[in-house]
Amino acid sequence: MKTTERYLIEELNIDPEILERISEAEEQLKGVFEALDDKSEYNQYKVLAALQKNRVSDMHFAWNTGYGYNDPGREVTEQIFADLFGCEEAIVRPIIVNGTHALSLTLTGILRPGDEMIYCTGKPYDTLEQVIGIKGQPGDGSLADYGVTYKQVELKEDGSIDLEALREAITPNTKMVCMQRAAGYGWRRSLTIDEIGECCRFVKSIDPSIVMMADNCYGEFLDTKEPTEVGVDIMAGSLIKNPGGGLALTGGYIAGRSDLIRLVSYRLTTVGIGKECGLTFGQTRTMLQGLFMAPKVVNGALKGAMLCAKVFENMGYEVCPGPEEERSDIIQCVKLGTAEKLIAFCQGIQSAAPVDSFVTPLPWDMPGYDDQVIMAAGAFVQGSSIELSADGPLREPYIVYFQGGLTYEYSKIGVIKGLQAMKGL
């Protein structure tokens, strides 16, 4: 018996049958894992090249005070993101509080009264509904309050963008067409880079002045190209997901065309000041080190998601996406079927965490949700979803959303402990 196997069985009381299932799944996934390793190796060198090109040095990890004019660390960090994402300019800041903030700055920076925006991947991420004004109180200052109109084009049955319906929706007032790359918390697949590129070409052929925007949250380093390399004009994401590599303490980024970044920077600070001001509070080192680690971290999380999918599929559960399916985000959904299994699996995940492993998660009435929700996470960075977590609402068909893991081994022990906790149910 291998050292690890003996340890898991003898010290952690893991059922040997679970370990057999895990080994079987790993064996079946060998080919897919190799392809993933190729992508992450490529992305590792791509990040390295961006750091080298910008001559990163010790001085870039320092920070200044007051207005923050001429901060070399801030400037180099933003240029590295722009180079890496193959675009003109980027804003990368710890003062962007989350992904929603980055996306909101992008929309509000670019759209003007009378403009129309279209989401062509169905309903946007929950938190954006109030920003757009689909939900919330009139007078809150949403885009709707400012006279920006909104249209939504649903995805087709197979999860692809309905280009013909999009053509119908576009009018002379259409200023922006937005895409969400990740599936988020829906039972659908994510958009591939090729599909994003195709949609951009399609829209530009109708009206080249339309701004193509991508919500890139969870999508970074899933492929060898990012949306801005295939025609997207501007995109935004969170640093406590993929690109922060688990090390960034907070923050968000916006990357794209210079003329658009200028407008967004005017929304971030003030008109006229833009991105010339703003402190980094000593965060450039963790942001850049996190970016450096990110391809490997994303690789581990992805392999963990695939392992989870494969083991559950082998056991007869419905999973989305399928274990070998092409992925454009790091979320794995599994239909567990009963509340007991959902709760047990999440408790197993929690017990595998490096932080708060002694806590027992229970279903609770989370504000804004109709059903009780259970959430397991034991993260070094609060709310970081590149770290291992599992959650789901307590309603039929009891889907668990499994994601993250800073290393493959950690994601794997999460699956093992989740299965162990479900034993006998």
Ligand X SMILES: *Cc1c(COP(=O)(O)O)cnc(C)c1O
Given the rule CB under 6 A, which residues bind ligand X?
98-100, 125, 127, 180, 182, 184, 215, 217-218, 238
Q: Are 307 and 411 in contact (CB under 8 A)?
A: yes
Q: Specify the residue, 185 or 266, whose C-beta has the smaller distance to ligand X.
A: 185
Cβ 104 to ligand X, closest distance in Å?
9
- Among residues 238 and 283, whose Cβ is nearest to ligand X? 238
3-state secondary structure of 401: strand
Closest by Cα among 11, 85, 99 to 46:
85
Nearer to ligand X, 127 or 372 (CB): 127
Q: CB 129 → ligand X: shortest distance, Å?
A: 11
Nearer to ligand X, 133 or 348 (CB): 133
Q: How far apart are CA 227 and CA 318, in angstroms?
A: 30
Closest CB to ligand X: residue number: 99
DSSP string, 31-54: HHHHHHHHHHHHHHHHHHHHHHHT
Q: How far is the CB of 386 from ligand X (least distance, A)?
A: 11
The least CB distance from residue 88 to ligand X, in Å, is: 23
Helix (H) or strand (E) holding 297: helix 284-314
Burial 193-221 (b: 16+ CB within 10 A, else e): bebbbbbbebbeeeeeebbbbbbbbbbbb
Q: Which is nearer to ligand X, 54 or 190 (CB)?
A: 190
CA distance 337 to 339: 7
- Within 10 angstroms of residue 169's Cβ, the number of other Cβ atoms is 17
CB of 218 to ligand X, least distance (A): 5
**Burial label, 118 (beta-carbon count in 10 A; 0-12, 13-18, 19+):** buried
Which CB atom, from 182 or from 261, has the smaller least distance to ligand X?
182
Query: Under a CB-based contact definition with an 8 Å cutoff, are residues 230 and 196 in contact?
Result: yes
19 vs 400, beta carbon nearer ligand X: 400
Smallest gap from Cβ 134 to ligand X, in A, equals 15
Give the whole-angstrom CA distance, residue 9 versus residue 189: 36
Q: Is 400 helix (H, G, I), strand (E, B) or coil?
A: strand
Shortest distance, CB of residue 238 to ligand X, whole angstroms?
4
Nearer to ligand X, 348 or 392 (CB): 392
Nearest distance, CB of residue 191 and ligand X, angstroms: 11
